[in-house]
């Protein structure tokens, strides 16, 4: 009998990728296609849902062929996705009524501000764990119903369905037989009661979203139906679904309280597993569902850094440093020891825990002998120091998760730099483990699917398939680390407007 394979679909913001894994979580082949981004107005970002589906089917077919395997060897599909992007489509025809509104889209900012001024944010946070921000899905659905002619009446008549990208793909892959999402994606909508684990009538009424439009909420490892046979020559079970950051949490094996991961891309998402406790953050972090398996819910605190790898891109594009990230890394290695240069990369404001959209970036500590090497080092340090901001906020919100030695598991573009891994450990004071296999989001989706397909006995067994890591231990003494962090906090205070 052929070795069972798992097909992971990683549907991101800029690309759709498929990775074929064996039953032990080892990658066999990968295929990706870039997605077109549409910007119809300032602050608006849209995708073509039909293109997303078409490319998803194409890359899944291609990756199996690339690996020289047959579709008959694939026992399950796992899906991870850009979490807050939404689609509304016709229940009868399966056609979208409008392009997908992407998570980055800001068109509902005024609606969010109006609800905040009316005093609704505390109740929203209490129910959903989130803040009133256009980032999340619920206000996007309300906007579509109000701005697409006839949409609200059609929704009331039961003619329309709504969902995040995972729901759209499941509906299309199953030929309209299954309308479902998982608890992690549901928890990013502003419509889901994260403690009751059910859609909230209170939030739906507040945002003007008919509950009948929304998908059934299942576990991350669950039965999402089977693909239509004509798509892949046979019906393939869909057995795992998770939002991208929660999938990466699983891919890094962070299934116990106190385990945390950071993914460093353009920005950075840091998630701390808090177990069965859903703490209310006093630092305006997000409380979200980490996973739901076998009906058991675990939660996470989440913080976002707006500018991480984007600071490296800034050096390439604005300061003319050649050779991409590698060129900036080589420069940073030439920096003088204790040069004193600090960059606060508030190019688009400050994210958690500061939440100051009007702050702007600044360089501090420049001297006559400071140059590009010192600024390059400051770019890497900025991501490490912002990570410490999040860790300190999480420590205050969930002190029970920080007992004993603290470890941060990292993946993403910046983490490929060994110099950054060491600097991250030195400036945060935590042990850093860098995943040697970087595609932890797709791996997490595959592990959930393998669990749903019965290839893993339980969550613990699935998590043991996480990639091997390289370890970086803190080397700075306490005085040096705290002095640098104090200078960072002073620099942040100087750019803040609130």
pLDDT, tens digit, for every residue of 175-191? 999 999 999 999 999 99
CA distance 164 to 81: 9
Beta-bridge partner residues of 87: 163
Ramachandran quadrant class, 460 (left: phi over 0; alpha: psi -120 to 50; beta: rest): alpha
Q: What pLDDT shows up at residue 319? A: 92
The one-character DSSP state at 248 is H
Distance in angstroms (rounded) separating the CA atoms of residues 251 and 126: 29
Three-state SS at 8? strand
Task: Find where tokens 């309308």 sit.
Answer: 179
Q: Compute the distance between CA of residue 174 and CA of residue 94 in angstroms, rounded to an integer.
A: 11
pLDDT tens digit string along 351-406?
A: 889 888 788 999 999 999 899 999 999 999 999 999 999 999 999 998 888 887 88
- Alpha helices, DSSP H, located in 183-255: 183-186, 201-207, 229-232, 244-251
**Cα–Cα distance list, 386 to 158, 342, 400, 428, 483 (Å):** 46, 12, 22, 9, 15
Q: Are 243 and 80 in contact (CB under 8 A)?
A: yes
DSSP 353-367: TT-BTT---EEE---
Q: Report cis status (omega within 30 of 0) of the bond before 394.
A: no
Please give the average per-residue pLDDT across 439-455, as a whole number: 94
Ordered alpha helix ranges (H), 338-458: 372-397, 418-428, 440-452
Structural domains in the chain, sorted by start: 5-244 (3.30.420.40), 253-498 (3.30.420.40)
**CA gap 242, 244 in Å, rounded:** 6
pLDDT beyond 80 at 2: no
Tell me: the pLDDT tens digits for 3-43? Answer: 899 999 999 888 899 999 998 899 999 999 999 989 998 88
> Rounded to an integer, what distance in angstroms lies between the CA atom of residue 187 and that of residue 144?
20
Residue range 135-141: mean pLDDT, rounded: 94
E strand or H helix at 492, and its extent? helix 478-495
SS3 readout for 70-106: CHHHEEEEEEEECCCCEEEEECCCCCECCCEECCCCC
Confidence of residue 1 (pLDDT cuts 50, 70, 90): low
pLDDT tens digits, 231-278: 999 999 999 999 999 999 999 999 999 999 999 988 899 999 999 989
Q: Over the stretch 54-101, which tens digit does the pLDDT of each residue have?
A: 999 999 999 999 999 999 999 999 999 999 999 999 999 999 999 999
The pLDDT of residue 70: 93
Cα 358 from Cα 285, distance rounded (Å) = 19
User: Nearest-5° angle of CA 367, CA 383, CA 311?
Assistant: 70
Q: What's the rounded mean pLDDT across residues 217-225?
A: 97
The DSSP output letter for 237 is B
The SS3 of residue 39 is coil
Determine phi and psi for 471, rounding to 5 degrees: -105, 135
List CB contacts of 301: < 8 A, sequence separation 6 or more: 271, 272, 274, 279, 281, 285, 286, 287, 288, 394, 397, 398
Percentage of the chain with pLDDT > 70?
A: 100
Distances (CA, A) of 69 to 28, 63, 65, 293: 10, 9, 6, 30
- Distance, in Å, from the CA atom of 95 to the CA atom of 151, rounded to the nearest integer, reads 13
Report the alpha-carbon distance of residue 65 to residue 326 in Å, rounded.
Answer: 33
- Terminal CA-to-CA distance of the chain, rounded, Å? 63
- Separation of alpha carbons 266 and 218, rounded Å: 31
Determine the pLDDT at residue 332.
Answer: 92
HSE value, Cβ hemisphere, 13 Å, CA-based, for 412: 22
- What is the pLDDT at residue 406? 84
CA atoms within 13 Å, Cβ hemisphere of 27: 22
pLDDT at 192 over 90: yes
| pLDDT on residue 382 | 96
Burial 367-381 (b: 16+ CB within 10 A, else e): eeebbbbbbbbbbbb
Dihedral over Cα of 412, 414, 419, 420: its sign: negative
Report the chain's mean pLDDT, rounded to a whole number.
93
Position 286 scores a pLDDT of: 94
**Is residue 337 predicted with pLDDT exceeding 90?**
no
pLDDT at 438: 86
Nearest to 334 by CA among 365, 367, 375, 381: 375
CA-closest candidate to residue 283, choices 445, 166, 393, 144: 393
Mean pLDDT for 169-180 is 97
Q: Beta strands 27-34 and 15-22: pairing type?
A: antiparallel
Half-sphere CA count of 433, side-chain side, radius 13 A: 17
């Amino acid at each position: 009998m052929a070795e069972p394979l798992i097909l992971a679909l990683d549907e991101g913001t800029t690309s759709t990728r498929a990775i074929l894994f064996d039953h032990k979580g080892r990658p066999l082949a990968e295929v990706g296609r870039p997605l077109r981004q549409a910007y119809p107005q300032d602050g608006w970002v849209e995708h073509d849902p039909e293109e997303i589906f078409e490319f998803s089917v194409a890359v899944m077919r291609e990756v199996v062929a690339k690996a020289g395997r047959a579709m008959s060897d694939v026992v399950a599909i796992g899906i991870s996705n850009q979490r807050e992007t939404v689609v509304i489509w016709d229940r009868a025809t399966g056609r979208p009524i409008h392009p997908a509104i992407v998570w980055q889209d800001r068109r509902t900012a005024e609606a969010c501000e109006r609800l905040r001024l009316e005093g609704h944010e505390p109740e929203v946070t209490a129910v959903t764990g989130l803040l009133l921000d256009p980032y999340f899905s619920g206000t996007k659905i309300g906007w579509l119903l109000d701005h697409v002619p006839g949409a609200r009446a059609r929704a009331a008549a039961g003619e329309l369905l709504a969902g995040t990208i995972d729901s759209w793909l499941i509906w299309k892959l199953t030929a309209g037989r299954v309308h479902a999402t998982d608890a992690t994606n549901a928890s990013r909508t502003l419509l889901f009661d994260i403690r009751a684990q059910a859609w909230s009538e209170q939030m739906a009424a507040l945002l003007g979203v008919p509950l009948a439009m929304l998908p059934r909420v299942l576990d991350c490892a669950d039965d999402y139906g089977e693909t239509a046979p004509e798509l892949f020559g046979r019906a393939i079970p869909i057995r795992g679904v998770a939002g991208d950051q929660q999938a990466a949490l699983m891919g890094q094996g962070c299934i116990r309280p106190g385990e945390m991961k950071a993914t460093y891309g353009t920005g950075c998402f840091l998630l701390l597993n808090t177990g069965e406790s859903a703490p209310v953050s006093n630092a305006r972090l997000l409380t979200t569902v980490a996973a739901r398996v076998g009906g058991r819910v675990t939660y996470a605190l989440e913080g976002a850094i707006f500018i991480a790898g984007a600071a490296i891109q800034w050096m390439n594009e604005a300061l003319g440093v050649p050779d991409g990230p590698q060129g900036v890394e080589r420069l940073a290695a030439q920096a003088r020891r204790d040069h004193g240069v600090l960059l606060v990369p508030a190019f688009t404001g400050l994210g958690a825990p500061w939440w100051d959209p009007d702050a702007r970036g600044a360089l501090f500590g420049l001297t006559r002998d400071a140059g590009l090497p010192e600024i390059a080092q400051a770019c890497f340090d900025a991501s490490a120091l912002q990570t410490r901001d999040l860790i300190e906020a999480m420590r205050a919100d969930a002190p029970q998760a920080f007992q004993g030695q603290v470890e941060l598991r990292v993946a993403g573009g910046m983490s490929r730099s060994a110099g950054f891994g060491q600097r991250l450990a030195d400036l945060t004071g935590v042990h850093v483990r860098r995943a040697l296999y970087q595609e932890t989001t797709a791996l997490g989706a595959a592990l959930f699917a393998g669990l749903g397909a019965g290839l893993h006995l339980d969550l613990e067994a699935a998590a043991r398939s996480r990639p091997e890591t390289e370890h970086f231990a803190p080397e700075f003494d306490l005085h040096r680390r705290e002095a640098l962090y104090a200078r960072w906090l002073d620099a942040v205070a100087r750019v803040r407007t609130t």
